[in-house]
Amino acid sequence: MSLPAAVIELRNVHKSYQLGSHIVRALQGVNLTVQRGELLALTGPSGSGKSTILNLCGLIDQADAGEVLLNGTPADQWTETERTLQRRDGIGFIFQSFNLIPVMTVAENVDYPLFLTGVPLNERHDRVAAQLRAVGLHEHAQHLPDALSGGQRQRVAIARALIKRPSLVIADEPTASLDSHTADQVLDLMRERGHAEGAAFVIASHDDRLTRRSDRIVSLLDGQLQ
């Protein structure tokens, strides 16, 4: 069965949070569609709603009103267990702080999502080796994360996010801790791998370097698309 072209869709989505005695309207009627293989940059000032969109797309949070669809299926049809499995199997996450496991080697960090889903050992070995070659880190497979530069650690995080062949990758400020040259390399790599593997990237960032390499830019202000 072929998958729909749209990986993630937000249809007239509203989301509010209680902050003390105040109601914060984080999203107000947002409509957004991200296609397979597309790298979408979410921009806007702090508090504009970028993190809320990431949390909804990543099935971490649920909309108050409107609809979120992942690969054509409304997310509110899934139980919490089903949402957890969707995150584990079909969504990759890349963080500003890398979130690598320090006592695991580079290869073990990348392998971990496959281990969790029960992929056979031989297949895991082959897929990890191929993914590390794709991100230029095959020679560092047995190194611990602390032995790597920031850019190399972010490459490991990208490899780990893509190893399970997700349809969607969520990234939150992935270049904030990187120097300009390294950030350019990491962004080029995300775009290249996203296009090559058909994964949609939704990336929240204040980084102008990101917008120059994105396929599309969406700007948020006060919970609304501009």
Is the pLDDT at 73 greater than 90? The verdict is yes
CB-based contact 11:206 (threshold 8 Å)? no
Instruction: Output 194 or 74, whichever has higher pLDDT.
Output: 74
Q: What is the pLDDT of residue 185?
A: 84
Q: What is the pLDDT of residue 149?
A: 92
Q: What is the pLDDT of residue 152?
A: 93
Work out the average pLDDT over 25-43: 95
Is the pLDDT at 2 greater than 80? The verdict is no
Long-range contacts of 181-190 (CB under 8 A, 24+ apart): 182/149, 182/150, 182/151, 182/154, 183/151, 183/207, 183/209, 184/209, 184/213, 185/151, 186/151, 186/154, 186/155, 186/158, 187/213, 188/213, 189/135, 189/136, 189/155, 189/158, 190/39, 190/94, 190/158
Q: What is the pLDDT of residue 145?
A: 95
Percent of the chain with pLDDT over 90: 70
Is the pLDDT at 1 greater than 60? The verdict is no
Instruction: Output 128 or 181, whichever has higher pLDDT.
Output: 128
Give the mean pLDDT of the chain: 92
Q: pLDDT tens for residues 83-122?
A: 999 999 999 999 888 899 999 999 999 999 999 999 999 9
Q: What is the pLDDT of residue 190?
A: 84
Task: Record the tokens describing residue 88, joined without a space.
Answer: 């584990």
Q: What is the pLDDT of residue 4?
A: 67
Could you tell me which of 74, 72, 17, 92 has the C-alpha nearest to residue 47? 17
Q: What is the pLDDT of residue 174?
A: 87
Q: What is the pLDDT of residue 200?
A: 94
Domains and CATH numbers, the chain: 36-59+79-225 (3.40.50.300)
pLDDT-derived band at 160 (thresholds 50, 70, 90) equals very high
pLDDT-derived band at 213 (thresholds 50, 70, 90) equals confident
- For the entire predicted model, the pTM comes to 0.89
Work out the average pLDDT over 15-36: 93
Work out the average pLDDT over 180-188: 84
